[in-house]
Amino acid sequence: METNIGLFISYAVTILLMIGVPIALTVIVVRRFKVSWWVILTGVVTFLVSQVIHYPVLQLVSKLFNDGTLPVPATQWIPLFNAVILGFLAALFEETARYFGFLIMKKKTKRIESAVGLGIGHGGIESIGFAVWPFFPLFGGALINFFYILFYNAGAQITKGVSMDQVQYTASQIAQFWTNPWHLGFLPGVERLIAISTQIFLSVLIWKAVRSKNFGWFALAFFYHMLVDGIGVFLTYTGWGAWGIEGVLSIFMLANIYLIYYFWKDESDKRKELAEELGVDADELEDDEIEDLEDEDIEDEEDEDEDDLFESVESIDSEEENNEDKPEEEK
C-alpha cells in the first residue's frame, strides 16, 4: 500500500497542534502570568460537565424529532433550524457551566489573565479530547485513528478471528484514506485553533459578566457562541466544503484574537492607573486592591444612575412648580 507522504506530514502536524497548543498555552499563562492551576482545572471541569449534560439532551432532542413527538420543519428550513437548535444547546450548557466555574473560582480569577487561563483549560481539554479520545464526534480520536491506520496488520486481525470481509473492508478504508489530498490532514488542527480562540474569548466575556455583575456580558457570550456554532452547522448542511467553512470561521478567529487583546489591554491600563495612584509597580499590585477598584467602579456607576434619577425627579418637580405659578391664562 502506497503512503501519501504529504498527508502523513499534515496529519502529524495536526495532532501536534491539537495536543501541543493547549499544553504550551497552559505553561505560558501559569509561569508567565501566574495563573493558578486550579483555574486551568476549573476550565477543564466546566467543559466536561457541560458535555455530560449536553450530549444526552442532544440525543433526547434528536429522538423526539425522529419519533414524531416534535414536528420536523419543512426541508428548506432544516439547515437553519439545525443551526439554531445545535448552536443554542451548545451555548446553553457551555456558557452556563463556564459562568458557575467563574463564580466558584471568583477569588482566584480577579485578573483577566485568569479568564484566559480558564478558557485555555476549557478549549484545551476539548482539543486534546478530539485528538486522543476515540468517542469524541467529528475528528474524534485523531491520534488513535492515525496509529490504527499506520500499524493496521491484516494478517494479525485474521489470526485474532476477525472475518475476512471485515478485514478487507478495513483495508479498503485505509487505502481510501491515503488517496485524500495532502492538505486535508491540516483540517482538524485548523478547526481546533479556531475553537480554542473562541473558547478563550467566551471565557473573557463570562469573566466580565461575573466581575462586573452585568448579565449583558453573559448574554453577549451566549449569542456569540450560538452564532459561531450555528454558522458552522448551517454551512455544513448547505453543502459548503470543509475548507470553505473553516475559511469563514477563521474570520471569527481573527476577531477573537483582536478582542482578547483589546480587553486584556484595557484591564492592563486600568491596573497601571491604579498602580500609579498607589505608587507601586503594576506587577506588585495585589488582587484585593484590584477588586476594591472594581467595587468602586460599580458603586460609581450606581451613584451616577441615582444622580441621573434624582436630577430627573427634580426637573419634573420644578416644571410642576412653574406650571402652578403661571397665571391661568398662560396654562
Helix (H, G, I), strand (E, B) or coil at 109: coil
Residue 198 sits in the same domain as residue 319 = no
* Cβ proximity of 120 and 92 under 8 Å: no
Instruction: Please identify which residue in the block is written with the cell numbers 491596573.
Output: 271
Residue 15 sits in the same domain as residue 155 = yes
Domain presence at residue 330: no
The HSE-up count of residue 106 (CA atoms within 13 Å, CB side) is 11
How far from the centroid of its chain's Cα atoms is residue 275's Cα?
32
The model's pLDDT over 132-155, given as tens digits with 9 standing for 90+, comes to: 875 544 445 677 777 778 888 888
Position 194 scores a pLDDT of 97
The model's pLDDT over 274-314, given as tens digits with 9 standing for 90+, comes to: 777 776 666 655 555 555 555 555 455 555 555 555 555 45
Position 186 scores a pLDDT of 92
Q: Which range scores top for mean pLDDT: 9-13, 57-61, 94-98, 265-269?
A: 94-98
Grid cell at residue 102: 467563574
Position 305 scores a pLDDT of 52
Nearest alpha carbon to residue 89 among 64, 110, 107, 114: 64
Residue 310 sits in the same domain as residue 203 = no
Higher pLDDT, 7 or 42: 42
* Cβ proximity of 207 and 114 under 8 Å: yes
Which H or E run contains 195? helix 187-212
Residue 34 sits in the same domain as residue 141 = yes
Residue 197 sits in the same domain as residue 232 = yes
Mean pLDDT confidence for 70-77? 89
Q: Is this structure's pTM higher than 0.95?
A: no
**Residue 135 CB neighbour total at 10 angstroms:** 7
Domain presence at residue 331: no
Parent domain of 301: 287-325
Residue 108 sits in the same domain as residue 85 = yes
Domain presence at residue 174: yes
